A and B are shown apart, each in its own frame.
Chain A
Amino acid sequence: MTAVVSLRNVAKSYLRGKQQVEVLHGVNLDISAGEFLALMGPSGSGKTTMLNLIAGLDQPSSGEVRVAGERIDRLSRAALSSWRAQHIGFVFQFYNLLPVLTAEANVEVPLLLTSLSSKERSKRVQTALQLVGLADRGKHKPNELSGGQQQRVAIARALVADPTLLVCDEPTGDLDRRSAEEIMSLLQALNRTQGKTIVMVTHDPKAAEHASRELHLDKGRLVDEAARRAA
């Protein structure tokens, strides 16, 4: 299968005060189209950093990040913005909906960057809300929705522009068990029925069970799966 995401010798370090902190060390990874990958690992292992690099939110200190056939580690800030709009759908732990907008308006935001007409945008928003089972809550503002419903709206927003890759950072981290299960089932369904490639960072082994592949990061390195299981 074709690799949608390809990381080669990716390293990332940050300057924290005067100290250089190495977060990722020479990571190599391929994610195939249609895969649902769960990235797990303890806090500080570099999961979110890796997700940010894949989503084009950050640049590696060295190495090569190729997503949807493009070397995104070489793109400028402006080019990365436009690239993200085309290829990435992002789901955050705390939903991060715009509180002043209705669910419909929130879902429409990524489409504002396209050349679609208002009518076409509205049609797509309705389809996305139907897909997440919230067609009847479109006029509600985020504070009028439950946590699970807000995360569904966030998923609809991530999907509405039909991105190449869905990137989820702890999507169930702020939800109760039942809502978390609903969200994971929804993501799994999107992966299986719509063929969406999903990369998800999670702490939750139950959430990770819905993925087609699990990877573990420890101290900035991908852990050899066989060795991990043996351990």
Chain B
Amino acid sequence: MKYFGLIWAGLWRKRARTIFTMASIVVAFLLFGLLQGLNQGFNTVVTNLNVDRLYVSAKTNMTDGLPISYSARIKAVPGVKAVSHWTYFGGYFRDAKNAIPAFATDAQPLFQVYHEMKIKPEYLEAMQRTRTGALVGEALAKKYGWKVGDRVPIGTSIWTTKQGSSTWMFDIVGTFDTSSYGGGFPSFYLNQEYFKENSAFGGDIVHYYLVGIKDPHQATQISKQIDALFANSTYETRTQTESALAQMQLKQLGDINFIVNAIVGAVLFTLLFLTANTMMQSVRERTPELAVLKTLGFSDGKVLTLVLIEALALCVLAAAVGLALATFAFNSGAMRAIFGDFRMPLIVMTMGAGTALLLALVSGLPPAWRARQLNIVDALAGR
């Protein structure tokens, strides 16, 4: 602690250079925190997805759809608790820019399969009673100022009505809470029966069967059983767990892990040279001062330690600010809207701290070693 003044003063010897170097490290670790956090966020979301839910889609492509008649056969598979389904409606409100993740479904079993979603029982009963009813996520209702009892027009670019209209009218009969899933979860449900009756075509198509199972350990076995049921039929199925489905969808975005690691690696590699250069320059400029310290009795090891701690202070302080900013960004409303109730993973902070330490050691060691090896007589004579 008694050397703090000496180290701190050395760190700020060239104020502008230190500030710019620190700013670079702050930005690099902000990027590190955000990208690694995002990566871990995706991984966490995927890992935390429920394993007692299966998704059944057409083997060829989800958009090909499956017959509605499969529902009863899937439900009969041993270990299956509940079966619901989604048919992608692709809606929008007033303008095509206001896209709404709308799906036709069988609401009663849907809320059994998605037992984490919170809905009042009376809303579910109202949905059963009201053919044109719609259940709306609370966030979506809030966004457009919708209330229970409102009649809303929802446009679709896919499904025209039997009357030839692309606008469907729905009566909002209830709202539900999807906060545990984040912002991307479907939050507008219409009755499958109404969809089937009113649609000019394809009303008996289902894009996903959502299957709730009793024992998550049986997921693989039940998946195989379901797919075996429809093997060699016109509509063969592919059954996946929720996390497998999410992983497949994420892969469509590219290998996020690779992209993140490549960007962070390139940034840190550049930073390594920048910091090492700063430290080297700083030590070179202070050669006579370091020689004076040695003359006064500071040992080679002590001088090496002082320079290393200076590099550590530079890197760790700036990295801490960068990671703190990344954490702040992660706790912001915008990020929560994407990931739900998600916080900066501790592993990212630990990785960040470790990287900062490594950066300090690798960039600080060459100048520290140079300072250690300094010959007092030569340094004082300016040789």
Contacts and interface: CB of A to CB of B under 8 A. Distances in A.
25 contacts: A55-B295, A57-B295, A57-B376, A78-B299, A81-B297, A82-B297, A82-B299, A83-B297, A84-B295, A88-B297, A90-B295, A90-B296, A92-B292, A92-B380, A98-B9, A100-B9, A100-B13, A101-B5, A105-B6, A105-B9, A109-B296, A110-B296, A112-B3, A113-B296, A113-B297
A118 interface: yes
Contacts of A85: 296-298
Measured as residues with beta carbon below 8 angstroms from the partner, the interface class of chain B is: 20 to 34
A125 to B, nearest CB: 12
Interface in A98-118: 98-101, 105, 109-110, 112-113, 118
Nearest to A90: B295
A58 interface: yes
B293 A109 contact: yes
Interface hub of A81, A96, A112 (most chain B Cβ within 10 A): A81
**What is the predominant secondary structure among interface residues of chain B facing chain A?**
helix
A77 interface: yes
B296 A84 contact: yes
Interface in B287-302: 288-289, 292-302
B300 A118 contact: no
Interface of A: 52, 55, 57-58, 77-78, 81-86, 88, 90, 92, 96, 98-101, 105, 109-110, 112-113, 118, 121, 157
Contact of B300 (A78, A100, A112, A113): A78
Contacts of A96: 288-289, 292, 380
Contacts of B2: 112, 118, 121
B377 A57 contact: yes
A117 B2 CA distance: 9
B203 to A, nearest CB: 79
Contacts of A86: 297
Contacts of B10: 100
Interface in B357-383: 376-377, 380
B12 interface: yes
